[in-house]
Amino acid sequence: MSQFFHGVALSPGIGIGSVVLLAPMAFEEEGREVPDAGRSAELERLERALDVSEAALIRLEEEATERLGPDKAALFGAHRLMLRDPMLVDALREAVSEGKDAADAVVAKTAEIRALFEGLPDPYLRERGADVEDVGRRLFRALKGLPDPAELSGGEGAPFVVVARDLAPSDTALLDPAAVAALVTEQGGPTSHTAIIAQSMAIPAVSAVEGALERFPQGACAVVDGLRGAVVVDPDETELAEFRRARERFFLERDEAEILKDLPAVTADGVGLGLWGNIAGPGEAREVPARGGTGVGLFRTEFLYMGRGEPPTEEEQLGAYREALEALAPHPVTIRTLDAGGDKKIPYLASLVGPEANPFLGYRAIRICLDHPEIFKPQLRALLRAAVSGNLWLMFPMIVDLDELQAAKAQLDACAAELAAEGLPWARPAKVGVMIETPGAVLLAEELAREVDFFSVGTNDLTQYLLAADRMNPKLKRLQDPLHPSLIRALAAVAGAASSARIELGMCGEMAGDPRALPLLVALGFRELSMTPSRIPWVKKALRELEARNLEGLADVALKASTAQKLQRCLSELAGRR
């Protein structure tokens, strides 16, 4: 008998496959002692597990380099070195020689070494304790014969649905999209990095499905509807046939959208929009024009700072920014300055941030940068030097008042003066702007607009700050609706300020890639929408079916809607008239 489950839609599409459970691993000792006669064999088992783990890390490093770029792949190289470090290997061999079960030895020695690292005064070295545990868990899995998240497979090569408590972004990125039909997790939200990666890989995904690991039978047939946030386990033949038809319709609509990707992004009556892509590294820049986009609306530079022991140098950053600018030239590339803190943990900045009860409301982004010019200035200098290679739009995040914005612009001017004095080639950004992602920025939008060339609304954070609702908490999924009246009224206020100041108005949150919201965004005056690149063809298709002249008055209607449901009905009626 079929069972229906509801969750949060993370990535569109319909996936059908057999359930593969990725249960949380119990990384703990079992207390098994190995008799003298079995110790030689146990040592051999340990050596095989070391070889298997090393081979897996080499393979993962190669795959990650190809899919994600060398910066993110470096993590696996570092783990490979840790795996063969005598500090770990010699301790394991000694413990097994003395009669300890190999898996128990891994648990014990991993804990000991992690404790050593975490007791060190240097914050970067303390954070390496987490890497030691990752390596220990990989070796433990090899000894226990447990699957690696990146090496899951269905029966006889059939498509499968991964069901997990949660998936780290690196786990998600290394799944094979040709084999994985869909993802289902108990945790995670629609704006998580896992969601963004699943979207970029075109894997249907649903999160916030309570009790999935306990309630989904291993090997059962599952249908994952990433459009509506629903999962059906053990569907009957009638239901399965209907989902297969829906999947074919989805593929057909996707193909139709792809056909349009190289056509102009204009409404049926000629109003043009910039449909741009959000990227996390220079290697992703070329995907934007390949999907029909004409710019980058958000280059998340924090990913250049992650997975390493020190900040990237000015020269390293210059190379990354120049690569992205040259790939998109003459189109704009909007590069956001460092947004560390919050959910983005960077070990060597941990001592600056310190423990925080509410990290999303804490010491992050522009707040860190203004206090630490040794971090901020190399980035600004690299950006000014890179600006000679393309159309750079520079964007400051988490601005809440004029003092912050003016201080950031002063730092930019100081770096420009330094470069001029040094005789290095540099250029002013084509435009300088701010992300509007805090209630403070919304309320001061008119003042901020007089200081910048553009606004880009970050709806992911703005929604959670406006509604005091953690966007990573699945129990609050109702409050993540982009049509919530509070958010719409905030967007209207920002749009009005941008229009009065005659500056560019864009959006780089997930709402920008939602065709449902497109008519309202056009009516409000948004003219650049930046999204996961895979969403660009879908939004372009929806845009070309719109007539801007039919949207007159929609903004007024939206502002009078007292609930998201009423606004949704209004948009549905508009769609029905087209």
Backbone angles phi and psi of 196, in degrees to 5:
-65, -40
Query: Cβ of 526: how many Cβ atoms within 10 Å?
Result: 26
484 is catalytic: no
Sign of the Cα pseudo-torsion (289, 290, 291, 296, in order): negative
Pairing of strands 221-225, 230-233: antiparallel
Backbone angles phi and psi of 545, in degrees to 5:
-90, -10
| Marked catalytic residue, from 369, 415, 508, 570 | 508
Cα–Cα nearest to 135, from 109, 161, 160:
109
Q: How far apart are CA 170 and CA 574, in angstroms?
A: 41
Cα–Cα nearest to 365, from 461, 468, 469, 463:
461
- DSSP-assigned beta bridge partners for residue 296: 277, 333
Q: How far apart are CA 435 and CA 399, in angstroms?
A: 7
Cβ atoms of 169 and 199 closer than 8 Å? no
Cα–Cα–Cα angle for 478, 483, 486, rounded to 5 degrees: 90
- DSSP-assigned beta bridge partners for residue 391: 332
**Residue 86 CA from chain centroid, whole number:** 36
H or E segment to which residue 54 belongs: helix 39-68
Residue 519, both tokens: 């008519």
Angstrom CA distances, 238 to 81, 230, 233, 561, stand at: 53, 17, 13, 39
Residue 38, both tokens: 């079995």
Cα–Cα–Cα angle for 217, 8, 154, rounded to 5 degrees: 35
508 is catalytic: yes
DSSP letters for 447-500 = HHHTT-SEEEE-HHHHHHHHHT--TT-GGGGGGG-TT-HHHHHHHHHHHHHHHH
| Marked catalytic residue, from 193, 331, 484, 570 | 193
Alpha helices in 69-144 (DSSP H): 70-83, 86-97, 102-118, 123-144
Backbone angles phi and psi of 425, in degrees to 5:
-65, 135
Cβ atoms of 413 and 451 closer than 8 Å? no
Q: How far apart are CA 63 and CA 56, in angstroms?
A: 10
Cα–Cα nearest to 478, from 469, 490, 486:
469
Angstrom CA distances, 85 to 50, 90, 115, stand at: 11, 8, 16
At 513, the amino acid letter reads: G
Cα–Cα–Cα angle for 526, 527, 530, rounded to 5 degrees: 90
- Catalytic residue numbers? 193, 508
